[in-house]
Structure 1
């Protein structure tokens, strides 16, 4: 069962991780309803927020892969209602 939620991705000081983050998100593009990226090049921080509709397994796969990347922090919040 799918749930709607939000995934926050923060990339700090590791621009080389940006390309891999984008590749992973492209793989899951069918689950992503909205995406907003806010780069702060002066502070070398990139923030990406995603609105997703995923299963628990998909959420774990996305956040797990992203969280293993150097300089990447990932947090998620999901609704309790399933669709």
Structure 2
């Protein structure tokens, strides 16, 4: 298993119909989510979610990979070397 990392994940949901699937994936990985902030950007008709996470690189890769495979969902992450 990989070393644990603390990081930030940014998620942009361009299609609100994807929101239930995004929330389901986040719930499946809730154990590594330290904090979450989600904001609707009504003027652009998108939603922006930021996560603070603590998990192994494998766990974080699984989360970002599942989210990134959803249509109209963009995901970016930044991980520390801190374990």
TM bin (shorter chain): over 0.9
Aligned length: 81
Q: What TM-score do you get using the length of structure 1 for normalisation?
A: 0.93
Q: What TM-score do you get using the length of structure 2 for normalisation?
A: 0.93
* Mapped partners of 1:10, 1:54: distance in 2: 21
Q: Let me know the Cα RMSD of the aligned residues.
A: 0.8
Asked whether 1:10 is paired with 2:17, we answer: no
Please list every run of 5 or more consecutive structure 1 residues that lacks an aligned counterpart in the other structure. none
* Mapped partners of 1:4, 1:81: distance in 2: 7
Q: Write out per-residue CA displacement over residues 52-78 of structure 1, whole angstroms, 9 at most, x where no aligned residue.
A: 001010111000000011100000000
